[in-house]
Structure 1
Amino acid sequence: MAGSATLRTTATGLRAPATVPASKRKRGRPSKAASSSPKQTSGRELISQKAGNDSSDGEEDEGTTLHGISLASARSRSVKAASAKRKRKMAKFQREDSEEGQEEINNFLHQARSFGDFFIERINIQSSMALWSSETDDNLRSNYFINIQHLCKKSSGTPVTERSLYFALLRQWLQEYNKSHRCKPKAQFWPTRVIFVGDSDSAELELWVSESKKAQLSDVDGYVALSHCWGLPTKTEKEQFCTTQENYRHRLKGFSMDDLPKTFKDAVEVTRALGKQYLWIDTVCIIQSIEGADTNDWKIEARRMEQVFGSAYCTITTSSAEDWTKGFLEWRPSPRFIQDAFGQWTYFGSDTADYTKDIDAARLNQRAWVLQERVLSHRTIHFTESHAFWECGDAVRCENFTKMKSPPGREHFLVDPEFPSRLYISGYSRTIDFIYFLFEKYAQSGLTAKSDRVVAISGLVKRMELPATGDLRFDTEQERVLLVQVRAFQNYTMVQKDSEYTILDKDSVIVGGLSFDIPTYIHFQHCVVIGMQWTPAQVEDTEKTYHILLVRKIRFENQYERVGLGEIEAHYVSEDCWKGELC
């Protein structure tokens, strides 16, 4: 997301049993070297270092000492010494065999100690050590930390499977937001068809027609929707995986998981893990054509996307999957282990999270259909190559417990769970700027079928209730071109007032205002009308107000670029117009 703050990194800790024999472990007071002031290592460097099970043969590697905690196999570099205040706050401690010394250690480890972007924490000497981001929500952290302990094998101390941890966190997110947030769909809506996945590991699925299952669905708390990338499936893959006229009746009676590609199988697994029994996938729930023209069913259902994604309990996206066959639950980093001074191995999750790279720049979010699916969804879980992200109106959270607030710019509107409620109260200037940004972003997105250009954004247009009075259109022949009707200004005077420019009539009465993208650039002659404001009683142009983009011609014929935006009485914009391309 352009302009987004980068998520801060962190990790979660799980204790694993020591692999170093008891006879090799250091006991009693640490050595002089261990108790001396250690080199300072940043939290980011600490986690990124590899610390595998190198000491499993019984020989303890020489480790870096971090305030009394030895990190075996760490390859750290010296960084600048911490401030005097930080040094006092992170004062070293001595391990004592006495009860008093043990209590001192417990008290020290019980308190969260700031270390760069991290807190280092240990509830007691027997519990696992954890590093938490300083941005972590305390309640969510505490609840999840307890859940992690329950998911550990007593024999090994490592997670049962990494996937179990992810699913536990996803359920925790949903529970927290169900209790304290208003980003749930208000009206109960069911798509024409949904997949019944059940709540077990059964390989049998059913395609349900919602109208005929009203009784069963009346008390159900919603369905999960999948947003995915089709890729370029072959005819054989379409025949096997899509719902068609030929296999439709069969799927109503039940079909096997083997009839789905890997990405869809993963979606079924996630749906069950979230405690839901119903899943919507366009490929399965809309009758598709194998080749040739779209089916009538697709033409009808394609215009219901605003309701389908806007009413879903949750949307899951496959940002890491390029097509149906790749899946999205296997793209996980390898576990990391470090060893503390007491011989205990601690499991750590992955350490980096880049929202812009992992989500905004992902192939999935370069597709035109996905833009409206993302904006219209109330709550979204993104599965990327390295992390799972949770996105709703409150914030964006990552599985490593970092949290990012939406920036105040255009992206603030994109993550609005009640889109476009934030837009309605943002003022005309920001509204017009966002509408242009949205259409521009959409025009730059890819489509397999150019004929989908208009329908793939129809849900967003419907939700915003945009009037059909603007001069912006999509070129259905070219993928990335906005067609515009260019107009000229007439009979006006412009004066600067602070950072804005005011339009005056011949009597010096204010009739409009302009804002330029580059404050020093005010040379323009043309505009594009993208909206009009009036009341039903108004019929004269002098009583109407145009919302406009300020444009200037560039070197190629009939091509223009934006230089600003504004509003002006219609009287001061020419009725005559000519065709152009907005680049």
Structure 2
Amino acid sequence: MPRLCPTSSELLALDDNDLVFLHRNDIKRPLPRDIDINLKYVGHFEIAHEDISGRLAIPRWQPGTTLLCGSCSFCHLLNQGVQKSLNARFWPWKDIAKWTRREKQVPVEIDVHIDSFAYVKDTSPWADGQESLKTWNVHSAFLSGHFSLQFPLDFIVVAVFLDNTLAHKLVELEFEIFADQDNSLAQFLNIHRSPLNASPLSERNISNIKRWMDDCDISHEWCSTHSWTATAETPSSLPTRLVEVGNSNTGVEPRLILTDALSKDENNRVDTSKYIALSYCWGSVEESSRLLKTTHSTMQERLRGIKFDTLPLALQDAVTVARTLEIRYIWIDSLCIIQDDSKDWQIESSRMADIFSNAYLTIVAATGASCHDSFLYREPNQLTCDVQVHSETFGLEDGQFSLRLRRPRGTEKMSEIVGSRWITRGWTFQEERLARRVLMFGKNKFFLDCRTIERAEDTENYRLRPDWVGSICGIPSEENGAIRASKYSQMRSSSDHWQTLCSHYSYRELTFAADKLPAISGIASKFSEKLGGRYLAGLWKDYLMHDLFWYCVYPALRPETYRAPSWSWASVDLKISYPFWRTCESNECEMYCTILDAQVTTHGLDPFGAVDDGFLKIKGRLLDIEARQIPERKASLPQWSLHYQDIEIAQATPDTEKLDFGQSRTYWALLFAKCKGSEGSKARKSQPRGLLLQKCEEDREGLNVFQRVGVFYISQTYSQKNISGVTLWRRSANESTILII
């Protein structure tokens, strides 16, 4: 394969003026190029019982101002990037199937026009040693354009449908820039990324991982002073069981061990402070059934030994990493929890916070769909493109940098793990966030994160960790370099972070719906140390005035089996979020009701786990209102208008209920509170808000019982044109005490 065709070489070349521009770290704007690339892809959709996939053939290169050869290293890299970008955008497979009667294939031609190219600088802050840097050095090459589709005439209905979804849509490509660190150009432009090794466990990579972890132990206060330093004298800080990884060189197989016996074994005292925890995906029900597990009947067999070859590939890889890093023990849930013992599962799942936060290292198998996929495997001969740069002015006689494909936009880490099953699973959410250190294996590179910094395989530079990390593990929040003096401001920040984590967690999936609260109980137990107060099925009693006002991004579903009270976000499936305003500046909202009591009945041994029941006892004012669907509204939220005596008084976002246009339904509106707002907060910071309720047929303790069906905000237009919404509630509704379940 020729290195670069003349057109590619001219497109990627850097002259002296370009070098001056890119060398200056006080300029953050990109270095653009004018290009005109036209490609035609010939492909087809395969359709079988609504199981549709797209396949694209090798492209035909069409004339354009930028005449590429189609066969050099850059052209191959460009082609790979375009195909991946197009495949990522072909999402409406089922919609296509509805419109076609073809049973096998639908041909399609895709015209791609790329008209923008630029060398882009990284504007995010990096650090090198103890110095915080805003490098703004060359980071990537970015291309963009658009594409359109052409279908056969007898497929015209689908073509019309797709014209509103895929035709003339954006296509984006990004190529990461890297270089040998001893190359003169890398030093001149501060290109800090290096070539990737063929193996994640290469000698260089293992040396770096060990060095970075040693530096973390020595230099990072909040990584080195926590309970992972426990020894065999304090076995309670260890998981109940661990897997001793053995030694491949001596033929010693892994085996399950009971940690309460370690304190009696003098030979083990040195190692018991270090163990690895594994975060991975079991896979589908069928794949999980083939996963090696510990049960009552296999316990003694596991204690005697576990043949390495009987482990699924992900577990084999984890044991290999532990052996290579010379860490003697590893915790793997399928082997260290008795899988047919519900009591043991409750005990061990309630200890997840300790298991992952005390682990010396957590391995994240972020690639692969199941435990039967290797996370150490890398595609051989990954496409790259080398670019030569010569400048006598700057003494660059042998300058060279290279390009490799990465996912456009987004973070570097997300580029490596996007689309993986691991990032969609509920249990893995807290496993990563509770960990003291995370060694995450992506498609092409690994990342090492601790509680202080984030590192990537291909660079010595690093980034500082986000604020939510401190909220989980107890690190004091910092603002402008100074620790916040106000105790409430720290608690408010932790409450904000909790809401953010709950929002992110709601995007995750669970094999068993009942795990919704148990799968985040470890994080909740850590937050309880900062927030205090009682934990109520995903909410905190002292922050109910804010925590209650989650909303569903789209109408959600409630599981058939009871999981949480209707006022808890854990009662619904699908995505939830919290308003932009979050909490007030001070510790008090202007309350329009009184929370008399709030209780949940937990299920099992974990106080932060599953619940069997729960209620809020509230004294407040209820207004019977009529909910109507907002017509022809492009924005997804809010979806309903609330009317009292045929006048719109509020707007609401429903949880699970749906209304057709022209349809209406009667509910009860409980006026709740108004935030005083926080500095810089945006819309709704001063709007009174409340809970939209539906009356149940039952009563308890002589009180009317309701369920939450949504949240509402009093319309600003109503308050401006009429009496204030709060006054309306006070004039039209008497106070009453109710239960919300």
Which has a greater percent of strand? 2
Question: 1:576 maps to which residue?
Answer: 737
C-alpha contact (below 8 Å) 2:386/2:403 kept by paired residues: no
Shift of 1:81: 11
Cα gap change, 1:271 to 1:454, in 2 (>3 Å): same
Shift of 1:437: 2.6
Question: 2:464 maps to which residue?
Answer: 405
C-alpha contact (below 8 Å) 1:358/1:385 kept by paired residues: yes
Shift of 1:391: 1.4
Shift of 1:361: 6.8
For 2:269 and 2:359, how far apart are their aligned partners in 1? 15
Question: 1:452 maps to which residue?
Answer: 515
Question: 1:330 maps to which residue?
Answer: 377
Q: Which residue identity is paired with 1:295?
A: S
Q: Which residue identity is paired with 2:455?
A: R
Q: Are positions 1:271 and 2:322 aligned together?
A: yes
Q: Are positions 1:177 and 2:260 aligned together?
A: no
Cα gap change, 1:37 to 1:427, in 2 (>3 Å): closer
C-alpha contact (below 8 Å) 2:178/2:191 kept by paired residues: no
For 2:118 and 2:426, how far apart are their aligned partners in 1? 47
Deviations, residues 29-64 of structure 1 (Å, cap 9, x unaligned): xxxxx998587698999xxxxxxxxxxxxxxxxxxx
For 1:170 and 1:448, how far apart are their aligned partners in 2? 33
For 1:485 and 1:172, how far apart are their aligned partners in 2? 45
1:483 to 554, 566, 589: 566
Question: 1:208 maps to which residue?
Answer: 257
* 464-473 vs 222-231, which moves further: 464-473
Shift of 1:441: 3.2
For 2:274 and 2:188, how far apart are their aligned partners in 1? 33
Cα gap change, 1:390 to 1:247, in 2 (>3 Å): same
Q: Are positions 1:315 and 2:362 aligned together?
A: yes
2:677 to 510, 515, 518: 515
Shift of 1:249: 0.7
For 1:206 and 1:471, how far apart are their aligned partners in 2? 38
Q: Secondary structure at the match of 1:230?
A: coil
C-alpha contact (below 8 Å) 1:379/1:392 kept by paired residues: yes
Q: Secondary structure at the match of 2:677?
A: strand
What is the root-mean-square deviation of aligned Cα atoms in Å? 5.0
For 1:177 and 1:190, how far apart are their aligned partners in 2? 21
For 2:419 and 2:562, how far apart are their aligned partners in 1? 19
Cα gap change, 1:195 to 1:129, in 2 (>3 Å): farther
Q: Secondary structure at the match of 1:279?
A: strand
Cα gap change, 1:168 to 1:477, in 2 (>3 Å): farther
Shift of 1:350: 5.3
Q: Secondary structure at the match of 1:211?
A: helix
Question: 1:286 maps to which residue?
Answer: 337
Q: Are positions 1:247 and 2:247 aligned together?
A: no
Shift of 1:224: 0.5
For 2:299 and 2:713, how far apart are their aligned partners in 1? 49
C-alpha contact (below 8 Å) 1:315/1:380 kept by paired residues: yes
Q: Which residue identity is paired with 1:319?
A: A
For 2:506 and 2:397, how far apart are their aligned partners in 1? 57
2:283 to 224, 231, 237: 231
For 2:477 and 2:14, how far apart are their aligned partners in 1? 55
Structure having greater relative contact order (Cα 8 Å, sep ≥ 6): 1
Q: Secondary structure at the match of 1:439?
A: helix
Percent of residue pairs bearing the same amino acid type:
22
C-alpha contact (below 8 Å) 2:361/2:436 kept by paired residues: yes
Q: Which runs of 5+ in 2 are unaligned?
A: 4-12, 24-29, 32-71, 79-114, 121-134, 140-176, 231-236, 391-395, 479-486, 540-547, 549-557, 570-583, 593-672, 693-706, 715-729
C-alpha contact (below 8 Å) 2:137/2:191 kept by paired residues: no
For 1:477 and 1:501, how far apart are their aligned partners in 2? 38
Q: Are positions 1:414 and 2:414 aligned together?
A: no
Cα gap change, 1:505 to 1:208, in 2 (>3 Å): closer
For 2:188 and 2:298, how far apart are their aligned partners in 1? 51
C-alpha contact (below 8 Å) 2:365/2:440 kept by paired residues: yes
Cα gap change, 1:251 to 1:333, in 2 (>3 Å): same
Q: Secondary structure at the match of 2:737?
A: coil
Shift of 1:309: 0.6
Q: Which residue identity is paired with 2:688?
A: F
Question: 1:194 maps to which residue?
Answer: 242
For 1:36 and 1:575, how far apart are their aligned partners in 2? 77
For 1:134 and 1:417, how far apart are their aligned partners in 2? 35
For 1:338 and 1:464, how far apart are their aligned partners in 2? 49
Q: Are positions 1:467 and 2:533 aligned together?
A: yes
Cα gap change, 1:233 to 1:354, in 2 (>3 Å): same
Deviations, residues 388-413 of structure 1 (Å, cap 9, x unaligned): 11112222221121533334xxxx21
C-alpha contact (below 8 Å) 2:590/2:676 kept by paired residues: no
- When normalised by structure 1's length, the TM-score is 0.58
For 1:120 and 1:297, how far apart are their aligned partners in 2? 51
For 1:442 and 1:36, how far apart are their aligned partners in 2? 48
Q: Secondary structure at the match of 2:740?
A: strand
Q: Secondary structure at the match of 1:441?
A: helix
Count, aligned residues = 414
1:558 to 697, 700, 709: 709
- When normalised by structure 2's length, the TM-score is 0.46
Shift of 1:314: 0.7
Cα gap change, 1:393 to 1:73, in 2 (>3 Å): same
